[in-house]
Amino acid sequence: MKTKINFVRGLKGMGVVIMITYNKSRVIFDFGAPFEPLTQIYDGTVLVRNKKRVKDSLLLNQAPMIDYIYSKESLDDINLKPAEENPYETAIFISHCHKDHMSEIDKVDSSIPIYLHHLGLKLKQALETIEEEPYYRKYNGFEYNEKIMVGEIEVTPYFSDHACIGSASFLIKTKDCTIVYSGDIRFHALEAKRAWHATKQMSKNEIDLLIVDSTTTSSNEFVYSENEIDSLNLPSKEVLKDMITEQKIIDDIREQLKTHQGIAVFNLYHRDVRMLEYLIKIAKEYNREAVFEPHTAYIINELLNISTNVIFPNNNLKYDFYTEVRKNNKIISKDEVITNPNNYFVQNTYRNILELIDYDGINGVYFHLFGEPLTEEHVHYQIMKNVIDKLKWNFFSFINLYSFSHTYPNQLAYYIQKLNPKAVVAVHSTNPEGLNPVNAKHYLPKENVDYYLLNGQLIEKIEE
Ligand SMILES: [Zn+2]
């Protein structure tokens, strides 16, 4: 028994970190902090201490406690073995650029390679330039379907259609086991077909263990119902009440813009590059121009390779990248939008919400598209709502992260059935017991414990 698995975290919620070891080779999948929107320490208010950030992060349960990952100097007095003494050939793979999967990667010693899909890497670099992500080290890019060897472990990334550009699932092979880690998955979005195709490719292997995104089991708001689904290319006609598909969001926005007179505003999470692309397209269909804040305009320039319209908010913040943005995009003034509100579809992020006050007296519609604040429980959500109410605008909120970004129970069951693994472990769910795998043994392992994997059996390693 040589293949060892440790579910470092993520067996009871977000912030998945999985470590697989074979002899002196070690691979780690995802490296984010737990997602706690209401109690997150680094919410933009508390400043990161540059020199102590690794120690702070470990003590606050943000970065995972793993030996041989962090440099001796950065560990300070934390009781972990330093990267300088690492006996393993090690690599870290990131399934996508959402914080619960990658927020801690900048703390890893630069001797350990970290891989992201090349588009995810491009996004990461753009986020560093606009100062949304810290820059401390370099990362490597991977391509879908191209194997990477880490010592004796073989890792092949596959396409996944999560709400972030460059999302991946991984097929992992050692000499005695084959494992799939799904990353975050959904099959109700615009590239569902491509995602099912990737699933089919992975299913050609005999899979011992599937570690699967089971977010959908966290929520009892998902109730099966008969519904119209033909257009979505799903294997099952059973869908859920309150489902939010990308197509539905796009159709809902279209429906509003068709007849709306006045200003139209949206607030989105700009790591969802496809949503950026669609908003530009939808605006055009209704004779509007999409206008972006400079941070998002930079991402559009870099990731979509197009120039766009930019509106600069009225504050004292200055960034080096503003020069690039000014050069590469058309600058739209606030006065122009106020004079011709019917011509524009304008981005507004929460921190710039006061910009909306200038549109007082203009008929407006506001689309909250998974931008910050992320949950209705967050105090910022009510503040945002109050401003929109004062303006007497129509407010449309798409906020259910579970149903938008993650697969539904019926699709999840189908996915497991397709991959046909011997064993299954649920991750990314607050209710892993709720997973109902088809013909596979469902394990409920403990976090931070070493397990051997053999013939689809997880056996807890007893310390000698
Ligand atoms: Zn996630």
pLDDT values of the chain reduced to their tens digit, one per residue, 464 residues: 799 999 999 998 889 999 999 999 999 999 999 877 777 787 778 888 888 999 999 999 999 999 999 999 999 999 999 999 999 999 999 999 999 999 999 999 999 999 999 999 999 999 999 999 999 999 999 999 999 999 999 999 999 999 899 999 999 999 999 999 999 999 888 898 999 999 999 999 999 999 999 988 876 554 333 343 344 344 444 445 456 678 888 888 999 999 999 999 999 999 999 999 999 999 999 999 999 999 999 999 999 999 999 999 999 899 999 999 999 999 999 999 999 999 999 999 999 999 999 999 999 999 999 888 878 888 899 999 999 999 999 998 887 666 678 887 778 888 999 999 999 999 999 889 888 777 899 999 999 999 999 889 999 987 65
Distance from Cα 33 to the centre of ligand 1, integer Å: 10
CATH number at residue 9: 3.60.15.10
Residue-level pLDDT at 227: 40
Residues 331 and 216 in one domain: no
My answer on whether 215 and 302 are in the same domain is no
User: Based on the domain organization, do 35 and 152 belong to the same domain?
Assistant: yes
Distance 48 CA to ligand 1 centre (A): 23
Given 354, 375, 399, the domain boundary residue is 399
Q: From ligand 1's centre to the CA of 177, what distance in Å?
A: 25
Task: State the CATH number of the domain containing residue 393.
Answer: 3.40.50.10710
User: Which residue range forms the structural domain that includes residue 256?
Assistant: 246-399
Q: 304: which DSSP letter?
A: I
> Is the CB of residue 434 less than 8 Å from the CB of residue 214?
yes
Q: Give the Cα separation of 65 and 405 in Å (integer).
A: 28
Does one domain contain both 61 and 173? yes
Interior angle at CA 61, CA 380 and CA 150, nearest 5: 115
Residue 428 Cα to ligand 1 midpoint, Å, equals: 7
Helix (H, G, I), strand (E, B) or coil at 329: coil
**What is the C-alpha separation between 77 and 100, in angstroms, rounded?**
26
Together in a domain, 454 and 307: no
Residue whose pair of structure tokens reads 């703390």 in the numeric block: 107
Residues in the chain: 464
Pairs from 15-19 (Cβ < 8 Å, separation ≥ 24): 15/100, 16/100, 16/101, 16/427, 16/428, 17/64, 17/66, 18/181, 18/211, 18/427, 19/66
Cα of 105 from ligand 1 centre, angstroms: 15
CB atoms within 10 A of CB 225: 11
Residue 347 falls within a domain, yes or no? yes
User: In this structure, what token pair is assigned to residue 10?
Assistant: 């993520």
Instruction: Point out which residues pair with 20 in neighbouring strands.
Output: 5, 27
Whether residue 323 is found in the same domain as residue 365: yes
Asked whether residue 312 falls in the same domain as residue 371, the answer is: yes
Q: Is the peptide bond before 445 cis (omega within 30 degrees of 0)?
A: no
3-state secondary structure at position 259: helix
Which three-class secondary structure string do you get for 113-141?
CEEEEHHHHHHHHHHHHCCCCCCCCCCEE
Q: CA-CA distance, 16 to 434, in Å (whole number)?
A: 18
Report phi then psi at 388, rounded to 5.
-65, -40
Residue 16 CA to ligand 1 center (angstroms) comes to 8
Kindly state whether residues 418 and 299 are assigned to the same domain: no
**Exposed (0-12), middle (13-18) or buried (19+): which is 86, by Cβ within 10 Å?**
middle
Q: For residue 379, what are its two tokens?
A: 């105090």
- Which residues are within 5 Å of ligand 1 (an ion), measured at CB? 100, 184
| Main-chain dihedrals φ then ψ at residue 119, nearest 5 degrees | -75, -35
The identity of residue 132, as a single letter, is E
Rounded distance from Cα 184 to ligand 1 centre (Å): 6
Helix (H) or strand (E) holding 390: helix 379-390
Structure-derived torsion over alpha carbons of residues 338, 339, 343, 348, reported in degrees to the nearest 10: -10
How many whole angstroms from 210 Cα to the centroid of ligand 1?
Answer: 17
* 240 located within any domain: no
What is the domain count for the chain? 2
Q: 78 and 216: one domain?
A: yes
Cα(198)–Cα(210) distance, integer angstroms:
15
Q: Which of 243, 236, 266 is nearest to 189 (CA)?
A: 243
Q: Same structural domain for residues 24 and 97?
A: yes
Domain end call among 373, 399, 425: 399
Does one domain contain both 390 and 418? no
For residue 241, being part of any structural domain is answered with no
Last residue of a domain, one of 381, 399, 417: 399
pTM: 0.92
- C-alpha–C-alpha distance, residues 314 and 312, integer Å: 6
Residues 300 and 187 in one domain: no
From ligand 1's centre to the CA of 101, what distance in Å? 6
